[in-house]
Amino acid sequence: MSAPVLRDLEWTDLETLAALEVALFADDAWSEPTWWAELAGRPRRDYVVAIDDGQVLGYGGIDVSGDVADLMTIATVPEAQGRGLGRRLLDELVRRAEGSGAEALLLEVRADNEAAKRLYGTNGFEVISVRRRYYQPGDIDALVMRKHIGGTHG
Ligand SMILES: CC(C)(COP(=O)(O)OP(=O)(O)OC[C@H]1O[C@@H](n2cnc3c(N)ncnc32)[C@H](O)[C@@H]1OP(=O)(O)O)[C@@H](O)C(=O)NCCC(=O)NCCS
């Protein structure tokens, strides 16, 4: 398999992403109007998609506003998971956050999302707080994680 190419999100991707979201995020799926709003949020919002042979295999994005950037979302389609694409997307988003001048990248992750917690934990993110029962339905806690970037904090 050739390596997927990472490029900026385009409006022609939005219908595809909204369809993928349902399988990837279930109750938390973003609709197509939500994706349009995210795209309209540029340049503060900065999204990337991974394309292979014309197919979207993954995507992710950040919000950059001053010292702190936020990871808005990140996902790899089920058939491409476990091959390093999530890590590649995260590396690219960290690089873009650093380029914006941010000193930290924050994210929220469901406490029951083992794959995502492993991805973040092995990429230098640390849990800084817990939002109890943040995700509904299901009463699932949100872990707030932070990675220092772009400076000397390590
Ligand atoms: C989280 C997600 C983006 C990881 O994408 P991926 O392309 O499979 O990730 P990678 O192949 O780069 O693997 C990254 C790390 O996650 C770990 N991982 C991947 N799938 C895993 C699983 N099912 N269970 C446990 N760990 C897993 C890998 O072991 C790897 O860690 P390692 O390098 O230390 O071994 C992907 O599972 C996904 O899209 N999930 C659904 C959407 C989602 O939950 N997004 C995160 C929202 S906070």
Question: Could you report the per-residue pLDDT of 77-94, keeping only the tens digit for each?
Answer: 999 999 999 999 999 999
The residue to which tokens 């014309």 are assigned: 54
CA of 150 to the centre of ligand 1 (A): 24
Question: What is the share, in percent, of the chain residues with pLDDT greater than 90?
Answer: 90
Atom of ligand 1 nearest to the CA of 108: 48
* Beta-strand pair 68-76/104-110: parallel
For 28-43, the pLDDT digits (tens) are 899 999 999 999 999 9
- The ligand 1 atom at the shortest distance from the C-alpha of residue 25 is 42
78 upstream amide cis, omega within 30 of 0 = no
Task: Answer for the pair 82, 88: CB distance below 8 angstroms, yes or no.
Answer: no
d(CA 9, CA 11): 7
DSSP alpha helix (H) spans, 1-154: 14-25, 32-40, 85-99, 114-121
Q: Quote the pLDDT of residue 153.
A: 46
Residue identifier of the C-alpha nearest atom 27 of ligand 1: 115
Average pLDDT, the chain: 95
Q: The pTM is what?
A: 0.94
Pick 136 or 6 by higher pLDDT: 6
pLDDT at 1: 54
Catalytic status, residue 98: no
